[in-house]
Structure 1
Amino acid sequence: MTLQRTAYRSAILHSIADPQEVGLDNSFEFFEDGVLVVENGHILDVGPADEVLARHPSGMSVTQYEHKLITAGFIDTHIHYPQTGMIASYGEQLLDWLENYTFPEELKFKNPVYARQVANIFFDELASNGTTTALVFGTVHKESVDVFFEEAEKRKLRMIAGKVLMDRNAPDYLTDTPESGYQDSKALIEKWHNKDRLLYAVTPRFAPTSTPEQLATVGKLLEEYPDVYMHTHLSENKKEIEWVLELFPERDSYLDVYDHYKLLKNRAVFAHGVHLTDCECKRLSETGSAIAFCPTSNLFLGSGLFNLPKMEQHGIRVGMGTDVGAGTSFSMLQTMSEAYKILQLQQQKLHPLKSLYLSTLGGAKALYLDDKIGNLKPGKEADFVVLDLHATPLMSFRMQQAKTLEEQLFVLMSLGDDRTVSKTFVYGEKAYDAEGTTEPEMVTKKKAS
């Protein structure tokens, strides 16, 4: 934790509201020469440099970043840490991809040594891509989640994760039972939920891999622990939807399966939602449930095109997700770029300020954490990222042609990737530095006025 008051001077941009609700001009704050002040892991002050520096005592350490942009840490609302080692697996759609790639890889996580190795690679990748919070799938093994939380706690991360529940339509080596899944989840909740910055998500993989008996235990856990999360998949693939309706012929729709077992609620996050009906959208909105928009995996698996305006019309909370390993990058910048293309294919537009919102404050709202993270307002936890506007020769040249803030932001999202992330700060402490510890930074002391 940062015990000393420190400040960072650079261009600063952050979302303060949904552009769709308040208009583009009222959705952000931008300080061309700004200062962000951090103390005890929280943001103390932010604003124009001259105003902020005048409010603080002389002798405060100020680190200045040239040709950089500070914004809130990215929030990934759907990702699988056990799939880190199988990202970029060729040539299947969802159901075959699970059978041929996902399940064999997840078997390895019965070994906590392997799980810990992957967890650390996973957290390193998040940090180098500027992601400071994520909603994360583990595996069916309780050990994989224990290890994940142990490593997240060491790094002071705000992470949400859970053990996968899966008692049918999967290999025997990856199934649990309704009772064992319930007991394992209960033990993990008691151990990790609300410990430091960690939170728990009850995690049925998706309706086809859970019996009615297991889905009932999910509802029971949510009733017993009303402030935990529920994290699963929904309407990603048309064959998947057909399968769900075959398995649950008494239910009206895919979402109705989850609704019947009381899984829709605040802090319920459904990944994908590519093929939702208006009735399903209405129900998601009524219950305060959220959707994770996962553009790279929807394209990679050929699942379909997410209809963001439809979600907005129904008032559904939406965050951005990479969905690694079906998703093809840990980078939220690359994910924003693919999101733009998905809407283009539907003759719709995705403004760069809306993309920034979905990847920061929108994700925080989807997770009901916008009182703690998502932007740089004083009082929030000090998770932020320093982006390099000249990270590559092409980006540097393109930035010289950019005439507006929106154009600069769109260049970042179109050309940016992990090379664009200069530094990542977690709870006020530097968690990643592209140049290592030897990079010369302009550190000065604020002079007495």
Structure 2
Amino acid sequence: MSMKRWGAAVTAGALSIGLLVAGAPAQAHDRHGSGAVRTVGYYTQWSFADRGIPVRYLVDNGTAAKLTHLNYAFGLLDEQGRCVSSDPVADYRRPFTAEQAVNGRADRPGQALAGNLNQIKQLKQRFPKLRVYISLGGWTGSKYFSNAALTRQSRAAHVKSCVDLWLKGNLPGAPAGAAKGVFDGIDLDWEWPATEGNPGNVVRPEDKRNFTELLREYRVQLFTQGLRDRRSYDLTAFLPANREALDRGYEVEKVYRLLDFATVQGYDYHGTWERTTNQQSALRVPEGDPTTPPDSGEIVVDAHLQRGAPRHKVVLGVPYYGRGWTGVTNSNNGLFQQSTGPAPATYEAGYDDYRLLKDLLADGRYRLHRDEAAGHAWLFDGTTFWTYDDPIELERKGRFIRDRELGGAMIWSLDGDTPQGELINGLYAGLHRR
């Protein structure tokens, strides 16, 4: 950036920070503009250890070249609300072989940075336009967000700890600044303010207001750190599909103003916490859906827009996994039928990755069904039912995002795609093909 452009950025940023300190929700900087389409993918801390999917997989199957943003999930918070690594071995200590590494070279003993973070650093060197964020929290990692957001002092301490750990790159047991430059921003996955989410989470009624105040504190400290580093840092958040959780936990219009963009839950509308089979990620409500209130991508997007979200900041989530039931009544091709419980699966009952579910069609027992009007697909063999998104449905969702002029698509999670990149190719075609 030239000195003239940097000076202009500092002046504009200082004005925004002044508004934030005064209590007004300043407009967050949006480098992509209202006409850009983002493709945001989550890569998880456990993708390699649990699934054997290293970061290099994203290069080999063509995903990395099609992403604008990568979210690394997850960093956690301790009981005091400070940012910590929940798995230092996975994050920055595990060595990778030449065959596993993005750059094709084996890690050396004693190097300053190893693990997933070093692989992401190599990915950024290969794809320099890719923006990478550390995602904090998640479904099982949101227990102490309420503590972090509770007071002005706790918010300041929380953000400072996150900036120090993830942006300055000061990792425990590693040389100072070992991970500096890996991350371009922070993504907050607090599930959910003022609503319990995972059992045992700390929840307070004042979480709604405190979430907004937490975002303001992030904006101030990210701007300050950006001045030191002569660059800008982004701020995003994952927001719910559930309208009750949205209204209870978020000052929606203020939140969107403080974020560069938000990723919106576009899946888990239904799952094996219910005994009746159903779609988990349809674009529109299928005919005959027995649930009240109904859920769909269209309903969720409209809910955010109606509450003040700018459409170019709404990034709709899409799943690279399916949800399944077994003991299903053999009627209506298995849809909207009673079950006896979750289907057997590879990683957890009732949940499996697309790259594995795709193989169910190979032995001829399962049939593929599709609702063109509602925009969802499922597999059924007479007793076991899987709802999932295949390349056709992801292309359909890409077209929906493009036609509605939304901010893009978010993927949970990238390790669910095939070695051929079938899902990213379908989604990318929908987002970009005219």
**More strand per residue: 1 or 2?**
1
Q: What TM bracket, shorter-length normalisation?
A: 0.3 to 0.5
TM-score scaled to structure 2, two decimals? Answer: 0.38
TM-score scaled to structure 1, two decimals? Answer: 0.37
